[in-house]
């Protein structure tokens, strides 16, 4: 199964160079993308997202649940969404799902992770509202669950065959207040009741656990797995070698995903199939951009964000 990078559900929710699914005129190009993925026997899943306050500072209308910026230097203060605008965002996720269905995708992944807008609504750091969309955990959970309900409603209405609906989460936030492991367990239990097809746990390292004091420090995946019943979990993060993948599967992680690893070495899977595990490349060289066809926008981020990608140091 191939999950695309995030596709914006609204014009003010995307990133330079990323995909979009915010208008019908994009359906033909989305169809080309789905067909290319499926041509080699792979399921095609469109990740649908709104970046909220994480969108680039040069965009015209950066929005969030509240006028609270990210906890980083130079972060833009987003415009607080009105109560009247929020149903439009929920509908936008449904419309993006309809377009994915019409384009022939096999499913969608709702992006509720990595500090994007859906996570912002669940976060007590980003969401300081006192209406029905914020406040208590139940109110903060309202938007994520209503997005799920809308996506599933659209699938029921438009999909002629089985259609995958997954959800991506980030287990905790570093900020205080921020999303805690208890918050995440409450959310994943609610998602399990919605009968999602999978839960994608977004981490830099698949074995990461909580860094907060006086909480369970086992890997997030292990703890989450105990709370979701039969809901399949995808683990991701720093699975750089065949041995890393085998260790994860042997530890009971049901499904694993590769992201950065396939950018560093697009033949990762082929090398395993051919018994060439030792040939897998696990670091980027600073001269790799042209050969790997990495777009300028992504390459710039790789070079600017220390530790995101493993990069060879110059001798």
Hey, is 257 helix, strand or coil?
strand
Phi then psi dihedrals of residue 147, to 5 deg:
-60, -45
DSSP 107: E
- Per residue in 135-179, pLDDT (tens digit) is 999 999 999 999 999 999 999 999 999 999 999 999 999 998 999
SS3 label, residue 202:
coil
Does 314 have pLDDT greater than 70?
A: no
Indicate the fold that domain 2-237 takes in CATH: TIM Barrel (3.20.20)
Q: Does pLDDT of 47 surpass 90?
A: yes
Q: Where would I find the beta strands (DSSP E) of 23-75?
A: 44-49, 63-64
Using the predicted structure, report yes or no on whether residue 69 has a pLDDT greater than 80.
yes
CB 63 within 8 A of CB 143: no
Question: Cα–Cα distances in Å, from 128 out to 43, 51, 120, 132?
Answer: 39, 18, 10, 11
Q: What is the mean pLDDT of residues 88-113?
A: 98
Total H helices, total E strands in the chain:
12, 10
State the DSSP code for 296: H
Specify the pLDDT at position 215.
85
Q: Where are the domains of the chain?
A: 2-237
Backbone phi, psi, residue 47, to 5°: -80, 125
Whether residue 118 has pLDDT greater than 70: yes
- pTM of the predicted model, to two decimals? 0.96
Q: Phi-psi bin for 68: left (phi > 0), alpha (psi -120 to 50), beta? A: beta
Are 31 and 47 in contact, with CB atoms under 8 Å apart?
A: no
């Amino acid at each position: 199964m191939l999950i695309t990078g995030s596709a914006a559900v609204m014009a003010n929710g995307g990133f330079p160079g990323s995909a979009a699914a915010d208008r019908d005129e994009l359906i033909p190009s989305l169809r080309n993308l789905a067909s290319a993925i499926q041509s080699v026997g792979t399921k095609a899943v469109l990740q649908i997202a709104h970046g909220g306050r994480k969108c680039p500072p040069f965009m015209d209308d950066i929005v969030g649940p509240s006028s609270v910026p990210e906890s980083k230097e130079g972060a833009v203060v987003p415009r607080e969404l009105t109560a009247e605008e929020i149903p439009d965002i929920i509908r936008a996720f449904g419309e993006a799902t309809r377009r994915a269905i019409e384009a022939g995708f096999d499913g969608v992944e709702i992006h509720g992770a990595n500090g994007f807008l859906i996570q912002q609504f669940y976060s007590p750091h980003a969401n300081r509202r006192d209406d029905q969309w914020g406040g208590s955990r139940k109110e903060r959970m309202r938007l994520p669950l209503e997005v799920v309900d809308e996506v599933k409603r659209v699938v029921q209405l438009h999909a002629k065959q089985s259609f995958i609906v997954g959800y991506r989460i980030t287990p905790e936030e570093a900020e205080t207040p921020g999303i805690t492991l208890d918050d995440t367990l409450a959310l994943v239990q609610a998602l399990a009741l919605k009968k999602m097809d999978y839960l994608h746990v977004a981490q830099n390292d698949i074995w990461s656990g909580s860094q907060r004091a006086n909480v369970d420090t086992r890997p997030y995946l292990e703890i989450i797995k105990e709370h979701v019943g039969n809901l399949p979990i995808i683990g991701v993060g720093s699975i750089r070698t065949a041995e890393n993948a085998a260790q994860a599967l042997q530890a009971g992680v049901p499904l694993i995903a590769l992201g950065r690893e396939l950018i560093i070495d697009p033949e990762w899977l082929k090398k395993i199939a051919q018994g060439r595990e030792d040939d897998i490349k696990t670091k980027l060289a600073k001269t790799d951009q042209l050969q790997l066809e990495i777009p300028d926008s992504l390459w710039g981020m790789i070079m600017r964000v220390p530790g995101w990608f493993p990069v060879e140091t110059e001798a």
